[in-house]
Amino acid sequence: MRVLSRAFALGLVLVFVATACTSGSATPSPTAAASSSASTRPHFDLATYEYSLQTKGKIRIGTQEDNPPFSVKNPATGKWDGFDVAYGREIAKAIFGDTDDPDKYIEYVAVTSATRIPSLTDNKADVIIKTFTINDDRKKQIDFTDVYFKTGQRILVKKDNTTINEVADLAGKTVCAQRGSTSEQNISAATSSAARLLLLDSYPACLLALQQGQADAVSTDETILFGLAKQDANTKLVGKYFSTELYGIGVKKSVGGDRTGFVDFLNRTQVAMITNGTWAKIYEQYISPVSFDKKRTPDD
Ligand code: GLU
């Protein structure tokens, strides 16, 4: 049953890949060469983490295999896609130089909400880019960049559901969320623990639980729910935001100065992405098809 569900969830992800993603890789810039040469490679101070990554020739990016529209691994081709993936490719280009194939410098590390922090603290990933809300609890364990995406938590139900309209209506209902997410905590807080939580390891798996009647609702960040609603016309989003979710890139805290300045470097890369229109472009490519809006910056 679990295997079947997993296969079905992957099938949903494949549908997303086919419908929402218009290209399998980052859009090449007009000047991109087939591969970055020493001349296009940025220069970093020897003591920086960016320099150590450039020397190794790889950045390990932790993201999720099935978190549309932010990150999806196509099980047939092994190719990654989505907003967070495109964002990671821009970071790779900032470290290794302009290229039409940033994936050759990226080692993708598959994470779930619950394994994000351990994959940094256990040094399995250099950065986590996976719908990762910045909060004080997490900041005690890892560092975050500036906010690169803003959303808030809402609720997804079947279209014919008339009883769940706001978060208070989740009391006594079974609500699916990803284990280890702020979504899980927010549902408990907003209902004084009166909702029954069904905790799974991906949101497509939660959609399947909703479709099969194992859950009355799925609740997480609105943009993730937009991605699920796009996959199933028999669902609808209800209620107002009952949280604010500000995403940052997660980085291991510096030990003995080994990552001094790395978060600043990532923040500068983000400023450049916003100023040169790359942020707006990847929003339009991956988010607009499910949100039906356009944004130029995370603050719009
Ligand atoms: N943004 C929330 C979090 O960081 C929910 C989304 C997710 O689990 O990836 O926990």
Give the residue from 80, 164, 96 showing the smallest Cα distance to 130: 80
* C-beta 221 within 6 A of ligand 1: yes
Reply yes or no on whether the pLDDT at 44 is more than 50.
Answer: yes
Residue with the smallest CA separation from ligand 1 atom 9 is 131
Task: Find out if CATH 3.30.1330.30 is the number for domain 153-243.
Answer: no
Give the range among 39-53, 89-103, 115-129 with minimum mean pLDDT. 39-53
Ligand 1 midpoint to CA 78 (Å): 24
pLDDT digit string, tens, across residues 78-99: 999 999 999 999 999 999 999 9
| Assessment of whether the complete model's pTM goes beyond 0.75 | yes
* C-beta 285 within 6 A of ligand 1: no
Query: 16-148+247-291: which CATH number, 3.40.50.1360, 3.90.1200.10, 3.30.43.10, 3.40.190.10?
Result: 3.40.190.10
Ligand 1 midpoint to CA 191 (Å): 19
Q: Do domains 16-148+247-291 and 153-243 have the same CATH topology?
A: yes
Ligand 1 midpoint to CA 268 (Å): 24
Q: What is the DSSP letter of 287?
A: I
Ligand 1 midpoint to CA 194 (Å): 21
Atom of ligand 1 nearest to the CA of 133: 4
pLDDT digit string, tens, across residues 229-269: 999 999 999 999 999 999 999 999 999 999 999 999 999 99
Structure confidence at residue 2 (pLDDT): 43
Structure confidence at residue 79 (pLDDT): 97
Phi and psi based region of residue 261 (left: phi greater than 0; alpha: psi -120 to 50; beta: remaining): left
Give the range among 31-40, 102-111, 117-126, 290-299 with minimum mean pLDDT. 31-40
Ligand 1 midpoint to CA 34 (Å): 36
Structure confidence at residue 251 (pLDDT): 98
For residue 99, give the amino acid letter.
Answer: T
Mutation test residue for ligand 1: of 130, 183, 202, 224, the one with most atoms within 8 Å of CB: 183
pLDDT digit string, tens, across residues 147-199: 999 999 999 999 999 999 999 999 999 999 999 999 999 999 999 999 999 99
Domain ranges of the chain: 16-148+247-291, 153-243
Structure confidence at residue 39 (pLDDT): 62
Which DSSP string corresponds to 108-170?
EEE--TTTHHHHHHTTS-SEE-SS-B--HHHHTTSEE-S--EEE-EEEEEETT--S--SGGGG
